[in-house]
Amino acid sequence: MYDLIVKNGTILNYNQDPVVADIAISKGKIDKIGSNLGEAKNQLDASGLTIIPGLIDSQVHFREPGLTHKEDLSSGSKAAVLGGICTFFEMPNTKPATITLEKIEEKIKLAKEKSHANFAFYIGASEDNLEELLKIESLDGCCGVKIFLGSSTGDLLLYKREILLDIFKNISVPIAVHSESEVRLNERINIRDNATSVHDHYLWRDAQSALESTKMIIEVAKEAGRKVHVLHISTKEEMDFLKDQKEHCTVEVTPQHLTLFAPDAYDSMGTLAQMNPPIRTKDHQEGLWQGLHNGTVDVIGSDHAPHTLQEKRVDYPNSPSGMPGVQTTLPLLLHHLEKGRIDLNKIIELMAINPAKIFSLNKGKIEEGFDGDLTILDLNENWLISNDAQASKAGWTPFYGMNIKGKPKATIVSGEIAMLNDTVFKPKGKTVKLYR
């Protein structure tokens, strides 16, 4: 007897024709796909719904430990499964920062008790923790190393080239970077210090600060003979540069940068639109879409970075950077799907196939033997994004009031129903097993 059979759904794998079939899952793995599969402990009728491989959000900040008034592993993972996300990778700029094997293991233990979705954690790089980085090379539940090349939320910062090169040469796990030049940010800090509005945020953290940093880290990757995963690219110049550097990098964009643009976002939302790297002008957004369509972009990640409304509404520059996003990433992409800017096949590629490939996961496909993670959609349902429906402790979204066509109806995590029709069930997320 199977643990779960999902019946009568339209299965859509990457670059394959859709097929109506049943999916049987046992012990967290897809066991069989077909019809008349037999009995199961649980059944879910997906008639009229579209089933895609379980989506992966490879960049979230769930704030635990130390900043749990903003978010924790329970609330953040609840938001994830409500948004159709089966697996998340969480960032190390907690308090204290996650820069040792011990701190990673503490997070894994917490997540096993609290997480509604599957999980893995980044370890942060500092100037003197290479020994700790080497300890996590084969640790299930640690997806890689995160480096902040420019200062952002938290106190993790590393931009000395010789230390970066040492890290790149000595570890084999994925390395992800926040790419803004700390040198240029410091040179231009008077713009921030003398700011008269939040519009000065994207003037201070300008396109050149991003491009300089990205060029530098690609040179480090080249010298070390390995790839780097460059997070939340925000400029058209970076996209033009990275297009010819694909043997040395993989590239992420966020739905925020694909959806919002300056000055409009700042005019309407003020400091709620503040994030790092910043929301930029329309020409940069168009450059990101071009990079998505020409194959430069490999991954879409939410960069879910919640702060309370009270914190966000402080006058700039004292307001924190970051916005919630894990629950709205897929809905935003479905909005762009309806507008003809992206197709469902591309969403599967950027949020299932490619993350699984980059991070060596047994995920991303609805095939026998793969992990039993499924995202189930009603592509015809019309609904409205609201603040009240957000599971994040932040309790707000920059996209409230947006009309969406297409909605996550069920999230299957390792063969367990984690979310069904906006109801979230008890935590059953599992540590991500890595195949390195």
Q: Identify the pLDDT of residue 242.
A: 98
Residue 154: enclosing H or E segment and its boundaries?
none
Residue 212 placed within a domain: yes
pLDDT tens-place string over residues 212-230: 999 999 999 999 999 999 9
Q: For residue 434, what pLDDT band results from cuts at 50, 70 and 90?
A: confident
Residues 187, 325 within the same domain? yes
**Mean pLDDT for all residues in the chain:** 96
Residues 217, 290 within the same domain? yes
Outline where DSSP puts E strands in 27-75.
Answer: 29-34, 40-45, 50-53, 55-60
Last residue of a domain, one of 358, 392, 412: 358
Opening angle at CA 127, ends 122 and 128, nearest 5: 90
Residues 168, 267 within the same domain? yes
Q: Name the one residue in this structure whose structure tokens are 């919630």.
A: 324
Q: Is 371 a catalytic residue?
A: no
Residues 30, 102 within the same domain? no
Question: 3, 303, 371, 378: which is the annotated catalytic residue?
Answer: 303
Compute the distance between CA of residue 167 and CA of residue 163 in angstroms, rounded to an integer: 6
- Decide if pLDDT at 194 tops 60: yes
Residues 272, 353 within the same domain? yes
Residues 205, 269 within the same domain? yes
Residues 304, 376 within the same domain? no
Residues 154, 119 within the same domain? yes
Q: For residue 354, what pLDDT band results from cuts at 50, 70 and 90?
A: very high
Residue 392 placed within a domain: no
Compute the distance between CA of residue 108 and CA of residue 434 in angstroms, rounded to an integer: 14
Q: For residue 157, what pLDDT band results from cuts at 50, 70 and 90?
A: confident
Average pLDDT over residues 30-43: 95
Q: Identify the pLDDT of residue 158.
A: 82
Q: Domain limits at 27?
A: 2-51+370-382+402-424
Residues 237, 108 within the same domain? yes
Last residue of a domain, one of 302, 325, 358: 358
Residues 264, 326 within the same domain? yes
Residue 285 placed within a domain: yes
Q: How far is CA 400 from each of CA 396, 404, 423, 424, rounded to the nearest angstrom?
A: 8, 11, 20, 21
- Decide if pLDDT at 331 tops 70: yes
Average pLDDT over residues 274-298: 98
Residues 211, 109 within the same domain? yes
CATH number of the CATH domain containing 19: 2.30.40.10
Compute the distance between CA of residue 290 and CA of residue 292 in angstroms, rounded to an integer: 5
Q: Identify the pLDDT of residue 156.
A: 74
Residue 170 placed within a domain: yes
Q: Considering only 221-235, 391-405, 421-435, which range has the smallest mean pLDDT?
A: 421-435
Q: Identify the pLDDT of residue 150.
A: 74
Higher pLDDT, 155 or 231: 231
Residue 46 placed within a domain: yes
- Decide if pLDDT at 151 tops 90: no
Q: Which ranges constitute the DSSP H helices of 329-404?
A: 329-338, 344-348, 354-358
Residue 389 placed within a domain: no
Average pLDDT over residues 132-155: 86
- Residue 82 has phi, psi (to 5 degrees) of -65, -30
Residue 326 placed within a domain: yes
pLDDT tens-place string over residues 76-108: 999 999 999 999 999 999 999 999 999 999 999
Residue 395 placed within a domain: no
Residues 47, 67 within the same domain? no
Q: For residue 152, what pLDDT band results from cuts at 50, 70 and 90?
A: low
Nearest to 111 by CA among 74, 63, 164, 162: 74
Of the chain, the percentage scoring pLDDT greater than 70 comes to: 99
Of the chain, the percentage scoring pLDDT greater than 90 comes to: 95
DSSP string, 238-288: HHHHHTT-TTTEEEEE-HHHHH--BTHHHHHHGGGG--SSPP-BHHHHHHH
Domain total in the chain = 2
CATH number of the CATH domain containing 305: 3.20.20.140
- Decide if pLDDT at 353 tops 90: yes
